[in-house]
Every structure is written in C-alpha cells, then in structure tokens.
Amino acid sequence: MTIPIIFVALLFVGLINACYISYKREKEERMICPLNGDCEKVLVSKWSKMFGIHNEIWGMMSYILIASWFAIAMVVPAAASFGSLIIVVLVTLGFLYAIFLLGIQLFVIKDFCFYCLLSSFIQITLFGLVIFFG
C-alpha cells in the first residue's frame, strides 16, 4: 500500500512544481534557482516548448491524466487493466521526455533549472515505480 501513496505524492509534487513554473511565467517573474543555475536560460530556450506549448503545461496535463487514470483504476475494477496500460504509456512518455530534456540541459544549454531537474526526477521515479512495482 506504500507504493500507491508514494506514487500519488509524486504526482502531487510534480503538479505543484509545474503550476509554480507556469505561475511565474504568467506573472513574468524571474525564477530563482536554488542550485545557482540559470533557470531563466533554460525556461526561455527554444526547448521550453513542444508543439508550441510550454513544457510545464504538458507536465500539468500529464500529472492530471495519470492521477485521473490511477483513480479510475483504483475505483472501477473493470477499468483497472486498461487504466494501468494508459498509466504505463503516459509515465513512459514522461520518462523519455524527461531524459531528453536532461540531455538538452546538460549538452545543449549547458545550464540547469532546479525546477526542471525536480520534474525530471519525479518523472524518472514514477517510471521506476511503474516498471518495478506496477
């Protein structure tokens, strides 16, 4: 029972993180990076969007969809199998995109954003939970 609690907690923290980035972007406030990185450099790069939509919006949608399917799978036993498949697909896509964006920060931008690293950590951990405990 501990794994579902950790899973839901990670989804919640990921959603809050993505909402915070979106809020700061909307208010046009500078992001302060606790790691002495340049969050702004990362968040305004050409890699900060996919298909014209900011990555944090994709993140919010991802966390909400995963949480929704998780809730459906927990409440409706008949939907558990399909819900689990959707969760695996969404988490895997998030994992692959997180790895891609980590590579972009490391090799292309050559700077890091704490909030982006947190998001990647969450996506990678969610993937690990799904693969090893799913």
Indicate the domain borders of the chain.
2-133
Of the pLDDT bands very low, low, confident and very high (cuts 50, 70, 90), residue 19 is very high
The predicted pLDDT at position 37 comes to 80
Architecture of domain 2-133: Up-down Bundle (1.20)
Q: Return the structure tokens found at 53.
A: 């939509």
Torsional class of 98: left (φ above 0), alpha (ψ -120 to 50), beta (otherwise): alpha
The C-alpha atoms of residue 4 and residue 109 are separated, in whole angstroms, by 35
Question: Per DSSP, what are the bridge partners of residue 53?
Answer: 50
What is the pTM for the complete model shown? 0.91
Give residue-wise pLDDT tens across range 66-88: 999 999 988 998 888 888 999 99
Q: Is the pLDDT assigned to residue 93 strictly greater than 70?
A: yes
Listed residue (126, 130, 133, 116) closest to 17, CA to CA: 116
